[in-house]
Amino acid sequence: MEARGNNEINDSVGSLVRPVVVSSILFMVVCGLVYPLLTTGVAQLIFPYQAEGSLIERDGEVVGSELIAQQFTEPQYFHPRPSVTLDNAGEEDLPYNAANSRGSNYGATNEALIEQVRQRVADYREENGLPSDATAPVDAVTASSSGFDPHITPANAEVQLQRVAEARGISEDEAQTLIEENTDGRLFGFIGEPGVNVLELNLALDELGG
């Protein structure tokens, strides 16, 4: 059957060689180089802070990124969620390694998961001086997906509040205010979950002195 109108039909396979070869190079250049480089240029121009990773400076020195959790173990700081990241070679444990994101990938019936959670609950109780039958907020005893979830839940912050206030010698009310100031709320008041940004909160605490 013939095509209609002025349209032409070409049946030679040889005539496909040039477009096939040229198209892969052309679209590699357009989509793989021009597009991302142009985006980089424009992004660097209008949103340089975000484009470089939302890095926070204190006294002229970069101390972290507002989007990336870092390790906190001292009692006067709020602690982020557990992290199971490894070093860049993927061999040794290196929690909060933001150069090699990783979750545990443990399934619900994996004994390794349950044991980890039991251990974290015990540690959490000890750190925060909780009774031996106290439960822990689930986000405080489970590993995040990225390995450096910048947030903890308000419930988790609430439990750690007393320890932090005591270690710093500040009132719980002061700490409470800072928690609220560093909580990212829901989008439009109903989408997503509120989260306390741990690094920003800890920096605000240091700012407060004490």
Partner 1 sequence: MLLNVLSIAVILLCSIPLALLFGTYFARYVFAGERHLLPERLTYRVLGVNPNEEMTWKRYGLTLVLANGAMMLLGYAILRFQSLLPLNPQGLVPQNPDLAFNTMASFITNTNWQAYSGEVSLSNFSQMAAITFMMFVAPASSFAAAVALARGFSRREFGTLGNFWVDFTRAIYRYMLPLAFVLALFFVWQGETQTLSANATVNTVEGETQEIARGPVASLSSIKHIGTNGGGFFSQNSSHPYENPTALTNVTQNLAMLLTGASILYAFGLTVARRKQGWVLFATCFVLLIGSVAIAYPAEQYGNPILTEASADQSLTADQSGGSMEGKEVRFGPALSSLFSAITTATETGSVNNMHDSLTPLGGLVTIFNIQFGSVFGGVGAGFIYLMMYAIITVFIVGLMVGRSPEFLGKKIEACEVSLTVLAMLVTPLFILGFTGLAMVWPGALDSLNNPNAHGFSEILYAYTTGTQNNGSAFEGITDDTYFYNTTVGLAMLFGRYLPILALLAVAGSLAAKKNVPETAGTFSTATPTFAATLVFTIVVVGGLTFFPSWALGPIVEHFQMLEGKTFTLGD
Q: Which of residues 49-68 bind partner 1 (CB under 8 A)?
A: 50-55, 61-65, 67-68
Q: Which of 14, 91, 92, 108 lies at the binding interface for partner 1 (CB under 8 A)?
A: 108
Q: Binding to partner 1 by residue 192, rule CB under 8 A?
A: yes
Nearer to partner 1, 15 or 171 (CB): 15
Give, as one character, the DSSP assignment of residue 16.
G
Q: Which of 123, 127, 154, 161 lies at the binding interface for partner 1 (CB under 8 A)?
A: 154
CA–CA distance from 72 to each of 7, 25, 110, 180, 208 (Å)? 69, 48, 28, 20, 18
Burial state string for 55-66 with b = 16 or more CB within 10 A and e = fewer than 16: ebeeeeeeebbe
Residues 65-104 within binding reach of partner 1 (CB under 8 A) = 65, 67-68, 70-74, 77, 81, 88, 90, 96-104
d(CA 147, CA 70): 10
| Residues that contact partner 1, how many (by CB under 8 A) | 118
Q: Binding to partner 1 by residue 127, rule CB under 8 A?
A: no
Helical pair 154-168 and 111-128, crossing angle rounded to 10 deg:
40
Task: Identify the CA nearest to 141 among candidates 80, 185, 187.
Answer: 80
Residues 13-52 within binding reach of partner 1 (CB under 8 A) = 13, 16, 18-28, 30-33, 35-40, 42-44, 46-47, 50-52
Q: Which of 149, 160, 165, 175 lies at the binding interface for partner 1 (CB under 8 A)?
A: 149
Nearer to partner 1, 6 or 209 (CB): 6
Nearer to partner 1, 39 or 171 (CB): 39
Q: Which of 91, 126, 128, 135 lies at the binding interface for partner 1 (CB under 8 A)?
A: 135
Q: Binding to partner 1 by residue 161, rule CB under 8 A?
A: no
Q: Binding to partner 1 by residue 158, rule CB under 8 A?
A: yes
Q: Which of 111, 169, 207, 209 lies at the binding interface for partner 1 (CB under 8 A)?
A: 111
Q: Can you list the pairs that 126-134 forms with residues at least 24 positions away whose Cβ atoms lie under 8 Å?
A: 127/75, 127/79, 127/160, 127/163, 128/159, 128/160, 128/162, 128/163, 129/162, 129/163, 130/159
51-54-57 Cα angle (round to 5): 130
By the 8 A CB rule, do 136 and 152 touch?
no
